Amino acid sequence: MTLSETAYAKINLALHVRRRREDGYHELETLFAFVDDGDRLTAKFADEDKITVSGEFAGALDNPFDNILAHTLTKFPRGEGWHVHLEKNLPVAAGLGGGSADAGALIRMIAAEQSVPSDVMQRAATLGADVPACVWSEMKIGTGTGTDLAKVQNDLKGTPVLLVNPRQPVPTGPVFKAWGELGGGKDRGPLPTGTARQIATDGRNDLETPAIAICPAIADVLAAMRDTAPWLARMSGSGATCFALYDDPAARDGAAQTIAASHPDWWQMSGAIR
């Protein structure tokens, strides 16, 4: 048995923070989308569960035996051990749901090999708020803490997208704290309704301003992206990765070349919306 999966990069086309809940989490409304590229996972039977990591950002995972993949294997018992290898191509603490995408890909691999329990989404939610959306990596509206998912008309499938990160990790916790301090925890209104394109166009990311306060380079990334004339450029999640959407691949590829020439130290990935 050898299985392989792509852990598709998650982006938040819009992210509205409504309020802080009594349990300490935040009530969110977001439009999840996925890019057709990301980390790579392979798995084969082994005497016991084992996780190995390679790739550009492998060094950011200091303990592969105590990460989200190890917890996923525990949550979804199998008849035999699995040796899972992760090629870590996505930056960590980057607003791309990298760990959640890895867990989602591993759950898909388990589902391909055996039947998954009926409470698969509940088990996924215990691994992280973004994991349920990442299990099937399909465009969805997320509410609650992001684990309650609803369908949306995906009129952005195939849209060219460019991801850029200044190679500065931005932990989620401090960004939410800054949102409460800078904006006073103010509810700026619900997610718009309509198709995915309408929601993305009319929506916003409430975490963009507090994230920029923590990592000013995000503003530089957004400015560089907007100079390439996308129809939308916005930060994803709690940062620091930003995305730009274009109407044709040539425009995206030209933008990627322009940004790489002026900022060769920034990470970037080109793809399309799934």
Question: Which residues belong to the active site?
Answer: 10, 130
- SS3 sequence of 150-219: ECCCCCCCCCEEEEEECCCCCCHHHHHHHHHHHCCCCCCCCCCCCCHHHHHHHCCECCHHHHHHHCCHHH
Residue type, 233: A
Residue 236 β-bridge partners: none
Q: Assess contact for 116 and 67: CB atoms under 8 A.
A: no
For 56, phi then psi, to 5°, come to -55, -35
Element (H, E) at 38: strand 26-46
Distance CA 98, CA 134 (A): 10
How many angstroms separate the Cα of 91 from the Cα of each of 22, 87, 95, 121, 169? Answer: 31, 11, 9, 25, 8
